């Protein structure tokens, strides 16, 4: 079950965190993974780990906000492999701030990566997915469904991801292309560790426990928790699922009373 043998998968932001976990699991399940990441060193490290585990993959430095660059890279992948089967739009950047405290520069930066970056990858990949069908998985957030303090611009971008997911699912169902998104709650990634060390020096462990308890289940998600859901939604076992947003949140949305 959940085999991705002979599949070609493009994963943006696969150099760390959730994207890295997705890339490693996809490779283990038989896919050849192409990691597109602005962090070339992180992407290369992930691919080295995949290859050492007898998987197949390639790391490519990519700025997803640059449409010309994205198109050139994806065209090259399609030519090399003859087909593209899966697109994971995982690359994204966080931001902390309200509508008052978010600068125009930061607002534009988040738009360019979290929204335009998804659009750029869809725009470049859909012509190839249309040839034989395929799967798209976009990374949204519970911030698109509930109010999160100090996440104004970030919430805006993730709401847009959900909207693009539904529109793409509707437009391309006739081409046998499925498109879904998932909405994680807090996940223990390098961003969390960096945030704690920057804002709570000397109290990292205490604050980590406080943040963990914000999820009713009592802990943060680990990247692999998210990756397993992505694997299911991109496998043939999920062939009847499209146009859905899946919260994976430790009960945050429904049980936080």
Per the residue annotation, which of 154, 172, 200, 246 is the catalytic one? 154
Residue 97 has, within 13 A of its CA and on its CB side, a CA count of: 15
Distance from C-alpha of 171 to C-alpha of 113, rounded to nearest angstrom:
23
* β-strand partners of 222: none
The question of whether 154 is a catalytic residue gets the answer yes
Cα radius of gyration rounded to whole Å, the chain? 18
What's the token pair of residue 227?
């990756």
Report the alpha-carbon distance of residue 44 to residue 167 in Å, rounded: 33
Burial (CB < 10 A; 0-12, 13-18, 19+), residue 218, is exposed
Do the Cβ atoms of 189 and 20 come closer than 8 Å?
no
Contact at 8 Å (CB) between 95 and 153? yes
Q: Which residues are catalytic?
A: 154
């Amino acid at each position: 079950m959940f085999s991705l043998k002979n599949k070609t998968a493009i994963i943006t932001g696969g150099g760390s965190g959730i994207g890295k976990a997705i890339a490693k699991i996809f490779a283990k399940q038989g896919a050849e993974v192409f990691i597109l990441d602005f962090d070339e060193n992180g992407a290369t490290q992930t691919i080295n780990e995949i290859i050492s585990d007898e998987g197949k993959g390639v790391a490519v430095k990519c700025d997803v906000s640059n449409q010309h660059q994205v198109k050139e890279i994806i065209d090259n992948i399609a030519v090399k492999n003859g087909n593209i089967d899966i697109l994971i739009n995982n690359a994204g950047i966080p931001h902390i701030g309200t509508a008052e405290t978010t600068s125009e520069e930061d607002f534009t930066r988040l738009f360019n990566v979290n929204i335009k970056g998804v659009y750029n990858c869809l725009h470049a990949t859909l012509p190839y997915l249309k040839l034989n069908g395929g799967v798209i998985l976009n990374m949204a957030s519970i911030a698109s469904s509930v109010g999160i303090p100090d996440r104004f611009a970030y919430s805006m971008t993730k709401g847009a991801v959900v909207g693009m997911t539904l529109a793409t699912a509707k437009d391309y169902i006739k081409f046998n292309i499925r498109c879904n998104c998932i909405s994680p709650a807090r996940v223990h990634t390098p961003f969390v560790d960096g945030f704690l060390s920057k804002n709570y020096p000397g109290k990292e462990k205490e604050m980590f426990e406080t943040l963990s308890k914000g999820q009713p289940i009592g802990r943060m998600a680990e990247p692999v928790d998210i990756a397993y859901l992505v694997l299911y939604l991109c496998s043939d076992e999920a062939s009847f699922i499209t146009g859905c947003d899946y919260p994976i949140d430790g009960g945050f949305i429904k049980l936080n009373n």
